[in-house]
């Protein structure tokens, strides 16, 4: 059920810049193929999307200035078209003539590929089905104008449409190979960005000189080692029948291209590094490039980096992962979240070793906590300085509040727009017994009563607000 709800109810969590970078890395190399398939390349389509987005934003900015500088049109019945809500509606309209003026050679091809008339899409019969708007974000008003409900959706729709067209074409194998290789390079670059000069980072190493048992990225930082395997396979759509849906999710998870496959691949080397005094790793020519072992390493970690967000199945590995009791859980992280964690480290000037401090607690959390986003757990750790309050709790399972990642959202906006620095304040978490309150039909007891806090004193969560205006709210 958590996987089904995540598949149905979650959108991609990424900035427009991140999605644009993904378009350039994953589908732009196939521009010539896309021209033959749909008449317009990914690069040219991206130019149009940026132009539409910039113009829509400029219209919204102008509308805000006009709204702030003029009288309240909402009470002016003589000028209904100038009311703020009507101006906002006009700001969402895109005209084909304007696109033709800016991009005369590709405007018609783009318009044909990414617009849809109301009611023209196939009917939906189940929540997991994709909608036509996932790939056609412009809704036709008439043949020469369209609504654009979301400028950011332009970029995600472009990526989704291009990838689907390539997968359904005769170059599917070539595209999937490129997708896998691109994610491996992305993983290498992200970890190099995170650790900088403090790490030795290798790509494409083997356990034997004859190229057996390959590992995508190997990272050695002092006496710690990360074995990273990249898996670019997207989450599968659950079937409608619950039993068949579970079987499909389990089989995809445990396949060689899934998270279980990544764990099996990395854990083989992790076991060796923990038990053997001398372990050699080879490049593709058979040369030894790494010599290390149990005497030199204090810890070795298995890491699976995915391209897409696999939700609760990746964050709560006790749901499906098979492992021996002596084995440690791997860390599963998608590349977009890893990039955000790099942002966090840089913004708050944390040392690279923070990752090992986090992992030493994070990998014990499976089966003890539930979350839907790795960034919620990371933000909890950053804010409170530890995950021990969850690990030491007497409750069977702790649900991590999804609002913790608001901290990271604030950091992102501060970097983007400037303004006051977002400060980390170490504070004890404030638990609430939601299950008990639902069973009794009463509101959760005030944390002030449990913690002995006055309602007019600062909230112990560290927000800076008075308790009565924060966790003391019923």
What residues does each domain of the chain span? 11-170, 176-429, 430-474
d(CA 332, CA 308): 11
d(CA 110, CA 45): 6
Residue labelled with tokens 């005094």: 277
Give bridge partners of residue 445 from the DSSP assignment: none
Q: What angle do CA 41, 42, 47 make, to 5 degrees?
A: 100
Under 8 Å between Cβ of 344 and 410: no
d(CA 162, CA 27): 7
Give bridge partners of residue 301 from the DSSP assignment: 226
pLDDT computed for residue 345 by the predictor? 96
- Within 13 Å and on the Cβ side, how many CA atoms surround 317? 24
pLDDT computed for residue 453 by the predictor? 42
- Within 13 Å and on the Cβ side, how many CA atoms surround 108? 2
User: Whole-structure pTM over 0.95, yes or no?
Assistant: no
Nearest to 259 by CA among 197, 201, 308, 192: 308
Tell me, what DSSP letter sits at residue 201? E
Residue labelled with tokens 């017994």: 433
d(CA 75, CA 210): 79
Under 8 Å between Cβ of 232 and 180: yes
Long-range contact list for 446-451, CB < 8 A, 24+ apart?
A: 446/471, 446/472, 446/474, 447/471, 447/472, 448/472
pLDDT computed for residue 435 by the predictor? 63
Residue labelled with tokens 């009470």: 75
Phi-psi region of 454 (alpha: psi -120 to 50; beta: other; left: phi over 0): beta
Under 8 Å between Cβ of 225 and 273: yes
What token pair was written down for 241?
A: 């029948």
Side-by-side strand order, sheet with 224-231: 288-292, 279-282, 200-206, 214-221, 224-231, 299-306, 331-334
Residue labelled with tokens 């083989």: 268
Give bridge partners of residue 391 from the DSSP assignment: none
pLDDT by residue (tens digit) across 342-384? 999 999 999 999 999 999 999 999 999 999 899 999 999 999 9
pLDDT computed for residue 151 by the predictor? 85
d(CA 440, CA 197): 56
pLDDT computed for residue 59 by the predictor? 81
> Mean pLDDT for each consecutive 10-residue tract of the chain (474 residues)?
53 81 97 96 97 88 67 48 51 91 97 91 70 88 92 92 96 97 97 94 96 97 97 80 80 93 97 96 96 96 95 91 96 96 95 96 94 93 94 90 91 88 84 65 44 48 54 44
Q: What is the DSSP string of 188-246?
A: HHHHHHHHGGG-EEEEEEESSTT--SEEEEEEEETTEEEEEEEE-PPPPPPPSSHHHHH
pLDDT by residue (tens digit) across 86-122? 554 566 899 999 999 999 999 999 999 999 998 887 7
Under 8 Å between Cβ of 44 and 103: yes
d(CA 241, CA 247): 10
Query: How many other CB atoms are found less than 10 A from the CB of residue 113?
Result: 21
Count of residues making up the chain: 474
Tell me, what DSSP letter sits at residue 30? G
Query: Please, what is the average pLDDT of the chain?
Result: 85
Contacts of 414 (CB under 8 A, 6+ apart): 347, 420, 421, 422
Under 8 Å between Cβ of 217 and 189: no
d(CA 274, CA 289): 19
Tell me, what DSSP letter sits at residue 84? H
Q: Does an H or E element contain 45, and which?
A: helix 42-69
């Amino acid at each position: 059920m958590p996987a089904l709800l995540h598949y149905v109810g979650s959108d991609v969590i990424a900035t427009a810049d991140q999605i644009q970078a993904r378009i350039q890395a994953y589908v732009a190399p196939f521009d010539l193929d896309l021209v033959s398939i749909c008449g317009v390349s990914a690069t040219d389509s991206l130019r149009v999307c940026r132009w539409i987005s910039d113009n829509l934003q400029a219209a919204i900015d102008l509308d805000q200035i006009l709204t702030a500088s003029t009288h309240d049109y909402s009470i002016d019945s003589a000028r209904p078209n100038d009311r703020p809500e009507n101006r906002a509606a006009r700001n969402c309209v895109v005209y084909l003539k304007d696109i033709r003026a800016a991009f005369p050679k590709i405007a018609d091809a783009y318009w044909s590929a990414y617009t849809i008339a109301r009611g023209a899409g196939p009917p939906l019969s189940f929540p997991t089905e994709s909608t036509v708007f996932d790939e056609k974000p412009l809704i036709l008003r008439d043949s020469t104008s369209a609504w654009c409900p979301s400028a950011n959706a332009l970029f995600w729709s472009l990526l989704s449409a291009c990838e689907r067209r390539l997968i359904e074409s005769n170059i599917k194998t070539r595209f999937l190979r490129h997708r896998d290789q691109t994610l491996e390079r992305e993983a290498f670059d992200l970890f190099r960005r995170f650790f900088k000069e403090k790490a030795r980072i290798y790509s494409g190493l083997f356990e034997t000189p004859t190229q057996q048992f390959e590992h995508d990225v190997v990272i050695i930082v002092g006496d710690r080692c990360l074995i990273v395997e990249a898996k670019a396979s997207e989450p599968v759509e659950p079937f409608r029948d619950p039993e068949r849906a579970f079987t499909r999710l389990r089989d995809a998870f445990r396949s060689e291209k899934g998270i279980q496959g990544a764990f099996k691949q990395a854990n083989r080397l992790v076991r060796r590094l923990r038990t053997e005094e001398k372990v050699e790793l080879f490049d593709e020519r058979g040369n030894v490039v790494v010599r290390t072992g149990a005497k030199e390493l204090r810890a070795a970690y298995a890491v699976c980096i995915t391209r897409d967000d696999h939700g609760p199945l990746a964050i709560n590995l006790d749901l499906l992962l098979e492992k021996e009791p002596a084995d440690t859980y791997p860390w599963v992280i998608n590349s977009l979240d890893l990039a955000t964690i790099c942002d966090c480290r840089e913004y708050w000037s944390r040392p690279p070793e923070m990752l090992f401090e986090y992992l030493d607690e994070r990998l014990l959390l499976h089966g003890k906590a539930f979350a839907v986003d790795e960034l919620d757990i990371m933000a909890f750790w950053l804010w409170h300085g530890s995950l021990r309050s969850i690990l030491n709790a007497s409750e069977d399972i702790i649900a991590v509040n999804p609002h913790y990642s608001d901290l990271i959202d604030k950091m992102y906006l501060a970097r983007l727009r400037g303004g006051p620095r977002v400060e980390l304040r170490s504070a004890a978490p404030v638990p609430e017994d939601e299950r008990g309150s639902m069973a009794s039909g009463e509101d959760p007891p005030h944390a002030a009563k449990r913690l002995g806090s006055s309602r007019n004193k600062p909230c112990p969560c560290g927000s800076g607000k008075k308790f009565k205006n924060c966790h003391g709210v019923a």
